[in-house]
Chain A
C-alpha cells in the first residue's frame, strides 16, 4: 500500500485525523496570533506603566479600570459610542427593508442583479473615499448647504457633529444590512405570504407578523456588522465628528499612538469586547450566524 493510500484510509476510518491535519496549520496561526493577542490585551489591561521610564509593569492592578470609571469623560464617550452604534443599526434596518423587499419580491431577475451590483459597489469601494466625500458634502461651504440655499432654505450646521457621524455611519454600513436582510427575505417561502393574505391579513400585517419575524436572523446578522463596525471606528469621528465627539476608538488610538499607555487603552478596549461578546452570544441564539 502506498503512503498516500495509507494516509487517506487512516483519515477515512478516523475522521479526527483528517480534521486535525487540515485544521492544524490554520489553528496554530489563528490561535497563536489573533486569539493570543486578544487574550494578551485582556491581561495587559491589568498592567500599569512606569510614568518616568514609560516601561510596562506587569502585575495585577485595577487602576486602569478605576480611572475609567471615575472619569466622567470616559463614561460619556462610551455612552456616545454605544448610542450612535445603536442609532445607526436601527436606521440601517429601516433603510434596508424597502431595498431588500423590492429586490427580492418586486424586481425581475435582470433588475435584481443590477440592484445587487449597485449594493456591492459602495460596500467595497474605498471606506476613506466615502468618509471624505461626506466631509466635503457636510462642510460649511459644501454641497449640502449649496443645495439648501439653491432651494431657499437656511444653511444646516451639521458638519463636524454627532449628527454628521450618525449620517455617515448609517451611509457606510447600509450595504452590510441590505445583504443579509435580502438573503433572509429570499428564504421566506412565498406560500407563507399567500397564506397570510388568504387569512385576511393586509400587506402591512403580513409584513409585520410574517416577514419581519422570519427575517429576524438576517436583521441580527446585519446588526452585528453595523453595530460592531461603528463601535470600533475612530477614523470617521476624527474626519467628520470634529471636537467633542470622540469615540472609544479615539481614546484607544491616542493612548496607543500618542501617550503610549497601552494598559489603559487595553482596559478601555475591554468594554467593546464585552459588549460585542454579549451581542454575539445572543445573536447565535437567534440563529444569526447562518445568515452572516
Chain B
C-alpha cells in the first residue's frame, strides 16, 4: 500500500512537470507587458486582436494550413496504399518494407532536412511551397501508414476471403469490407499527420525558401526577440486548437480498439 502511494505521488509530480510549462505559456498570452516578465504584472486581451490583424501572421497561418492539408492528402494516398500492400506481403519482404517505411520518423529530423536540401540543390530545384509540401509528406505518410497497418493487422484475413467466396471482386471487397474497417484509422492518421505538419520546424527550415510557415515565423520571432506578445498569442491559439483534433483522433483509435475486440 505504501508503495502505491509513492507511485501516485510520482505520477502527480510528473504530470505537473508536463503541464506547468504549458499552463505558464498559456497565461503569458494575457500579459499586458510587451516583454515577458514574471510574475505577470497586468492582464489584457488586446494582443489577441493585434495578432489577428498582423499580415505576417495571417500569411504564415494560411501557408501552414495549405501545406498541412496537401501533405495530409498525399499521406493518405501513399500511406493507405502502402499499408494495404504490406499486409499482403510475405514475412521476409514485409520486414524490409516495414523497416524502410518508418525511417522518416525513426531517423533524426536534421537528416531528412539536410538530405532534402542537398537533393533539391543537386537537381537545381528552387526551394518553394512545393518543396515544403514534399518534405512534410514524407513523415506524414509514415503516420497514416502506421495507423492503417495497425488496423489491418487486427482485421482477420478470413473477412476478405469470405467476401471473395461470396463473389465480390477485389475492388468491391475493398469498397465494402476493407475501406469501412480502415476509415477511422485513416481519419485518425490524417488528423495526426495534419497536426505534425502544422507544427514542424526542423525539416521545414531546410525545405522552405522565402516562405514562412507559422512555426518558422514563431522561431524567427523568438530568435530575434521581436513581436513576443504576438508569439504568446499564436502559441496560445495553437495549443488550444491542436488539443481538439488530438483528442478526436484518440477517440477514433480507441473506438476502433473496442470494435476489434
Contacts and interface: CB of A to CB of B under 8 A. Distances in A.
Nearest to B173: A8
Contacts of B201: 127-128, 235
A282 interface: no
A160 interface: no
Interface stretch (B49-57, B179-187, B242-250): B242-250
Nearest to B122: A40
Interface size class on chain B is 35 or more
A232 B25 contact: no
Interface in B121-149: 121-122, 134, 137-138, 141, 146
Interface string A112-129: 010111111111111111
A136 B111 contact: no
Interface in A99-143: 99, 101-102, 106, 113, 115-130, 132-137, 141-143
A113 B77 CA distance: 31
B17 to A, nearest CB: 7
Contacts of B159: none
Interface in A24-55: 25-27, 29-30, 33-38, 40-41, 44
Given A120-B250, A257-B205, A102 B242 contact: no
A118 to B, nearest CB: 6
A95 interface: yes
Contacts of B243: 121, 124-125
Given A5-B169, A102-B11, A232-B110, A41 B115 contact: yes
B222 A132 contact: yes
Interface in A228-262: 228-229, 231-235, 238-239, 248-249, 252-253, 256-257, 262
Contacts of B219: 128, 235
Interface string B17-50: 1110110110010000000111100000000000
Given A171-B21, A272-B108, A118 B38 contact: no
B118 interface: yes
B109 A118 contact: no
B84 A22 contact: yes
A98 B7 contact: yes
Nearest to B119: A37
A120 B146 CA distance: 17
A76 B56 CA distance: 39
A99 B11 CA distance: 5
B86 to A, nearest CB: 8
Interface stretch (A9-17, A65-73, A189-197, A209-217): A9-17
A271 to B, nearest CB: 10
Contacts of A41: 111, 114-115, 118-119
A22 B122 contact: no
Contacts, number: 265
A136 B206 contact: no
Nearest to A207: B3
B231 interface: yes
Given A4-B169, A25-B81, A98-B11, A129 B108 contact: no
A122 B243 CA distance: 9
A265 interface: yes
B238 interface: yes
A273 interface: yes
A56 interface: yes
A7 B99 CA distance: 29
Contact of B14 (A95, A113, A229, A272): A95
24 contacts: A27-B82, A30-B101, A34-B104, A37-B116, A98-B7, A98-B10, A113-B254, A122-B18, A126-B218, A127-B201, A130-B22, A132-B25, A132-B218, A132-B235, A136-B24, A143-B24, A228-B108, A232-B108, A256-B118, A262-B117, A262-B118, A266-B114, A276-B106, A292-B146
Given A121-B246, A122-B18, A130-B22, 17 more contacts: A4-B170, A4-B171, A27-B82, A33-B116, A38-B107, A38-B111, A40-B122, A124-B242, A125-B243, A126-B218, A128-B215, A130-B21, A136-B25, A234-B110, A249-B110, A256-B206, A265-B114
State the 6 A-B residue pairs at the shortest beta-carbon distance, nearest first. A232-B108, A8-B170, A37-B119, A22-B85, A8-B169, A23-B85
